[in-house]
């Protein structure tokens, strides 16, 4: 079974692997039900979805109707103004058929203008704090993509006592000196303040390759916007690299075909790989950064 750890200061012992329910967004209900059974059988007790993950919240509703108390349930809103964020939360509650979520997160808050709107009087942060006071949510977090995310999270934590953060984290990304420095500063602050740290993109190989016309090549169905690793041993090393840091939680990829390998690697609880092993994987599988601080920054 996958080990659990305190999710920040929430009081919840969450599985170190969090189910990224974006994987359910385009699935049939039957396949969604089987996928949920798979992650629950592995001991996953923390589900993460979002208002804009396709049909994900709807697909969770039948299972939640009889199992709500078994999981720490998180969703996200992309709205930055107060009324929009409140309406988004209420729609999420209705779609999932629940009276509250454990965690509501401001989704991808990494732009100056959006950040200012969210944090101002009448913005999303204030509205979600009010919803927390009313019992619609228990905790509030922030998420982000790109190389700027750790810096923005540091700004956000200086303005509000968020309960969790979510960042991209893998060996290749952490070779970026500025991102590494920002992230290490963020991790230290989160450790001091009891803020939970979630990670995404653990098994990312890179952007999908493009053909000569600049259009992404088609090589069968795709279940995530980035190209994931396929090699089981490399996936295992990437998973153990994240879980080797006791502060981090790993959110699974939207590509559900990789779930069995991720769950198996996490359950095995093996030793973290060496930097040389991770560098060898980077070279062998041509792993490249998903974000470059420029045109590849926002997704």
pLDDT tens by residue, 214-264: 444 446 678 888 999 999 999 999 999 999 999 999 999 999 999 999 999
Burial classification of residue 220, based on how many CB atoms lie within 10 Å of its CB (0-12 exposed, 13-18 middle, 19 or more buried): exposed
In this prediction the pTM is 0.94
Backbone φ and ψ of 137, nearest 5°? -140, 155
Q: What is the pLDDT of residue 270?
A: 87
Annotate 169-180 with b (16+ C-beta within 10 A) or e (fewer): bbbbbbebeebe
Q: What is the pLDDT of residue 277?
A: 98
CATH of domain 4-284: 3.20.20.100
Q: What is the pLDDT of residue 213?
A: 38
**Ranges in the chain, pLDDT < 70:** 211-220, 294-299
Rounded-to-10 torsion of CA 58, 60, 63, 65: -60
How many Å apart are CA 71 and CA 47, to the nearest integer? Answer: 7
- Supply 220's token pair: 């069968």
Q: What is the pLDDT of residue 215?
A: 43
How many Å apart are CA 56 and CA 49, to the nearest integer? Answer: 7
| CB-CB contact of 109 with 118 (8 Å) | yes
- Supply 59's token pair: 């697909």
Residue position matching structure tokens 């990789």: 258
How many Å apart are CA 271 and CA 276, to the nearest integer? Answer: 14
Q: What is the pLDDT of residue 256?
A: 94
Q: What is the pLDDT of residue 74?
A: 98
């Amino acid at each position: 079974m996958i080990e659990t750890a305190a999710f920040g200061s929430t009081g919840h012992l969450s599985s170190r692997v969090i189910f990224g329910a974006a994987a359910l967004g385009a699935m049939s209900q039957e396949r969604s039900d089987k996928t949920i059974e798979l992650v629950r059988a592995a001991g996953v007790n923390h589900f993460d979805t979002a208002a804009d993950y396709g049909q994900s919240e709807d697909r969770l509703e039948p299972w939640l109707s009889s199992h709500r108390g078994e999981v720490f349930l998180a969703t996200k809103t992309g709205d930055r103004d107060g009324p929009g964020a409140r309406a988004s939360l209420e729609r999420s509650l209705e779609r999932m058929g629940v009276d509250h979520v454990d965690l509501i997160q401001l989704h991808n808050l990494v732009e100056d203008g959006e950040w200012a709107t969210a944090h101002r009087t009448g913005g999303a942060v204030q509205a979600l704090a009010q919803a927390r006071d009313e019992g619609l949510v228990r905790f509030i977090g922030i998420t982000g993509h790109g190389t700027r995310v750790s810096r923005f999270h540091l700004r956000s934590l200086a303005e509000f006592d968020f309960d969790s953060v979510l960042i991209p984290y893998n060996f290749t990304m952490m070779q970026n000196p500025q991102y590494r420095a920002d992230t290490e500063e963020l991790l230290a602050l989160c450790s001091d303040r009891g803020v939970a740290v979630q990670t995404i993109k653990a098994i990312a190989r890179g952007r999908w390759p493009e053909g000569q016309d600049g259009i992404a090549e088609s090589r069968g169905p795709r279940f995530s916007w980035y190209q994931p690793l396929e090699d089981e041993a490399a996936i295992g090393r990437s998973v153990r690299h994240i879980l080797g840091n006791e502060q981090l939680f790993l959110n699974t990829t939207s590509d559900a075909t990789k779930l069995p390998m991720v769950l198996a690697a996490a359950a095995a609880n093996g030793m973290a790989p060496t930097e040389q092993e991770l560098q060898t994987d980077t070279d062998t599988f041509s792993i490249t950064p998903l974000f470059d601080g420029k045109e590849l920054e926002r997704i």
